[in-house]
Structure 1
Amino acid sequence: MNHDFPSFNEFNEDFEDLRDLLQQFENLKEGRSHAFLDEDSFEQIIDYYDEHDELNNALQAVEIAIEQFPFSSALLLKKSALLIETKKYREALALLEKAALLDSNDINLYILKTDVYLAMNQHEKAASLLEEQITQFDGEDRTDLLLELADVYDDWEEFEKVFDCLKMLLEYDANNEEALHKICFWTEFTGRNEESIRLHTNIINEHPYNQLAWFNLGTAYQGLKLYEKAIDAYQYAVVIDERFDYAYRNMGDAYIHLRKYNEAIEVLQKHLEVAKPEDVIYEAIGHCYEKMRKFTQARYYYRKASHLSPNDDKLYLKIAKAYMTEENWENAIKSLQSALRINKHSAEYNITLGQCYLQLGSDKEALAHFLNAVRIRPNSAQAWKELVRGLYASGHVDEALVQLDAAEARIGRKPVFLFYRAALLIATGKTKEGLLQLETALQLHPRQVKKMVELDPSILQHIAVVDLIGRYRRKR
């Protein structure tokens, strides 16, 4: 059987050779007798020290090497790279000019110069240097320069040019994986989905089995909300590579947008087969079951997500909401208490807990949580609304009016407050005042009348209230 990687013996021989070279170099430094070190040997020694972060030794080796081989551009480039590592940019630049006179066809010369310009914050110089050189090289060298140029534009925050550069690269080298991965992100970032669709369609016409091109085509369609087309493209990607986890993930998302929850679950389950389980995948499956009103399954997957991400309080809220839909208030409360333990300062969790306690008739606990919500977010209309509603529902109508005054003093006269005031006044027997208040509310915000009916459906037993609402319905 023929493997491409070296055998243990070869590794051993290489290691022995390297150890021998390092020993010879030590002898040379100490002035002892030593074997002749050629240019290649010096390069190995310099690389060894550089990789092991022994910069001083690497610099010493390169100095000695250049004394012996003064016309080696490769050694000058190595020294430049070390100078860049030690932040001696001017010296590095001077050496690179010298190396250019010896050999201007080495791509590393331009990559190192670019590194210097970027380190010195001279993005324009870096970009124009690479732009000039791109046409001078071909094959892998041109590809490398284009990738380097894309990084320069990224660093310079010229984001449209990053996209242009990657597009140019893929028109030249359609199967370049790094560019295909990068352009996927930059398409989304710059929103240039139509161009991406044209580019990847051309690539696929030439290379129909390029799964990354199919995937990118899918993400571009998804960016334009063309979910059916996106799904078609992802399906080609997973036919070519059935372990392409990101394609399953995105396909699941596209199916969710189309409200095709069974199909979404199927492809997300496939994702779980081919990749490491992730909380977001379990959560998405839970979401699909919730939308299908299969709450037991929804909770099962939300729990699986929360095992992987135990500090994500939002997952406990989702479990609670699934219980609330089934009116299972006790279990909803347990989940909400878990959420609140993680995030003590959430007005939303306090409000939702209050709602559950209210359903169980535990008025005192409910009001305590509504009050907490108002303390945490004193400018939240939702928090004040729930507090007033809680007081009303538990029979504290006078206190509800006091808190309604406090709410309006704090955040102004919200439409819902006008309707609540009308209902509260009618409930305390101040019918005339209540009806006047209701008339004002209906003049200003007729659509919000349902908020009053939600607060107390029995209010519709008042003939005068029904008449008044009917009059405004007819007007509208």
Structure 2
Amino acid sequence: MFDDFMDDEWDSLDDLLNRYEGVKKGESSGMMDEDDFERVIEYFFQSSDEEQALLACDIASTYYPFSTSLQLLKAEILVQGQKYGQAAMVLDELEKFDSKNLDATLLRSDILLSQFKYDQAAAWLEQKVNDFEGKDKVELLLELSDVYDECEEFDAVFDTLKRVIAIQPNNEEALQKICFWADFNKRLEDSIVIHTHVTDIDPYNTLAWFNLGTAYQGLKMYEKAIDAYEFCIAIDEKFEFAYRNMADAYMRMKWYEKAIEVLEIHMQLAKPEDVIFEAMGFCWEKKKDFHKARSYYRKASQLNPQDDSIFYKIGETYAREKQWEKAVKAYSVALNLDKENASYCMAIGNCLMEMDAESDALVCFLNAVKLKPGNKTTWIALIRGLYVAGYYDEALTQIEIARENCGDKADFRYFQSAALFELGKSKEALIQLEGALKLSMNKLKVFTDLNPEYMHRSSVSELIARYKKK
């Protein structure tokens, strides 16, 4: 049957083309109506025969000079051929007898965009907005929002979408887009006003509730965000992103049990995702159930084996349990995936120090310093490692190099003082300790953690007491 239908279509088209040839020759028996001409024009156009398509347009216009559809078809063919000037002239003629044609209005905008005249396209559409009502006006405004995006007038994008929602509060495209632009333009308060109004007049508008929750969440008003998401899933219990965002809000409030409950529902509804497994792992880690945390991190790594941060997090759970060897293995996988990550080098180094593999640990700390020479944290890890390993002279040398890269820091002076005490240079050590106290009394713990016995020295305790009184 389908083949018979296609045969009939081709027979009909062949007959139509024969009649068109008759019209071209001036034969009266070949008369065609407007739809017939459109089919012939589209046939030539789809056959990539632009010249014949335009000729058919011109012949058709002699019979139907006021046909909007034929004029539009000709303009579209010219636009496809990048003959923008000629296309604009056709639209000029069309607008003389049909000035409020939406397709013609949008096509002229397309012409201006094709010529990279974004501001002119926006001005043209703004000029024509009030010529239309209802759905046509909405369609024009949505096009205008895209044009403002091209112009990089991002606030205007938001305002235009707001106009769409004012006309059509349930417009899905506008609601989806305005959520992004509210966050991008930091117009979250405006978004709350817009979507509160929408939910007042249309309380079953799922997207409006979701957008309201997103706006509250962006302003760190997490409880209000959760309330909005609750309405969202009450209307549509399978709205995946509402569960995702709700879980994030609970996590930011440190309500990890609630976050886990919501994530479990999300996992029942949606396909497995590494970010969801990772979030579950994070929640269990915060609850100090490191075994469960690792199980979810591993699930995340199976879906995204190139994500080094997941292996680092696995290492962190082992480190929290003081399972240093397993932690080193996990950190090493992370480092293998991102060889330029100084934090991973330091993490491995810290584990090796706990395992009394001080020489290997110092190599890791040196690598971290090479990767991040301007980062104070990497230097502190190296200097502490040298101090703990008993390389006091080398620690002093590295402190000077650290100052060259990071400037004079209180931490460096506390380490310098400790190293000098260990070398028996008490006078110099006290000078450095006083310098450290002047820079930051709050970081004294750096010094006392290295060796609590220092506080038993009267000269040290008296010096610290003087600065505590200040």
- 2:131 is paired with a residue whose SS is coil
Q: Residue deviations 1:444-471, cap 9 Å, x none?
A: 2211111122333443343432332233
Alignment of 1:208-223 (within 5 A): 208-223=203-218
Q: Residue deviations 1:175-200, cap 9 Å, x none?
A: 11111111111111122222222222
Per-residue deviation, 1:411: 3.0
Per-residue deviation, 1:36: 7.0
Q: 1:113 aligns with which of 108, 113, 117?
A: 108
> Is the alpha carbon distance of 1:48 and 1:390 closer, same or farther for their aligned partners in structure 2, counting shifts above 3 Å?
farther
Q: 1:161 aligns with which of 156, 163, 169?
A: 156
- AA aligned to 1:259 is K
Partner of 1:125: 120
Q: 1:95 aligns with which of 87, 90, 97?
A: 90
Partner of 1:419: 414
- 1:56 is paired with a residue whose SS is coil
Q: 1:358 aligns with which of 353, 356, 359?
A: 353
**Which range moved further: 457-466 or 253-262?**
457-466
Root-mean-square deviation (Å): 2.6
- AA aligned to 1:121 is F
Whole-Å separation in 1 of the counterparts to 2:235 and 2:3: 40
Question: Runs of 5+ in structure 2 lacking a partner?
Answer: none
- AA aligned to 2:52 is Q
Q: 2:135 aligns with which of 128, 133, 140?
A: 140
Q: Does 1:194 align with 2:189?
A: yes
> Is the alpha carbon distance of 1:308 and 1:20 closer, same or farther for their aligned partners in structure 2, counting shifts above 3 Å?
farther
Percent of pairs identical after alignment?
Answer: 44
Alignment of 1:23-102 (within 5 A): 23=14, 38-44=33-39, 54=46, 56-57=48-49, 60-70=52-62, 71=65, 72-102=67-97
Q: Does 1:285 align with 2:280?
A: yes
Partner of 1:5: none
Per-residue deviation, 1:141: 0.8
Whole-Å separation in 2 of the counterparts to 1:16 and 1:104: 41
Aligned residues: 463
Per-residue deviation, 1:16: 4.8
Whether the 8 Å contact between 1:153 and 1:161 is mirrored in structure 2 is yes
Q: Residue deviations 1:77-126, cap 9 Å, x none?
A: 12322332332221221121122224333211000001111222333332
- AA aligned to 2:260 is I
Partner of 2:249: 254
Whether the 8 Å contact between 1:381 and 1:411 is mirrored in structure 2 is yes
Partner of 2:463: 468
Whole-Å separation in 2 of the counterparts to 1:105 and 1:364: 81
> Is the alpha carbon distance of 1:362 and 1:57 closer, same or farther for their aligned partners in structure 2, counting shifts above 3 Å?
same
Whole-Å separation in 2 of the counterparts to 1:421 and 1:22: 93
Whole-Å separation in 2 of the counterparts to 1:26 and 1:453: 97
- 2:210 is paired with a residue whose SS is helix
Partner of 2:383: 388
- 2:367 is paired with a residue whose SS is helix
Question: Runs of 5+ in structure 1 lacking a partner?
Answer: 1-8
- 1:453 is paired with a residue whose SS is helix
Per-residue deviation, 1:13: 7.0
Whole-Å separation in 1 of the counterparts to 2:254 and 2:438: 39
> Is the alpha carbon distance of 1:303 and 1:17 closer, same or farther for their aligned partners in structure 2, counting shifts above 3 Å?
farther
Whole-Å separation in 2 of the counterparts to 1:333 and 1:346: 15
Whether the 8 Å contact between 2:20 and 2:32 is mirrored in structure 1 is no
- AA aligned to 1:68 is A
Per-residue deviation, 1:378: 1.9
Partner of 1:175: 170
> Is the alpha carbon distance of 1:130 and 1:29 closer, same or farther for their aligned partners in structure 2, counting shifts above 3 Å?
same
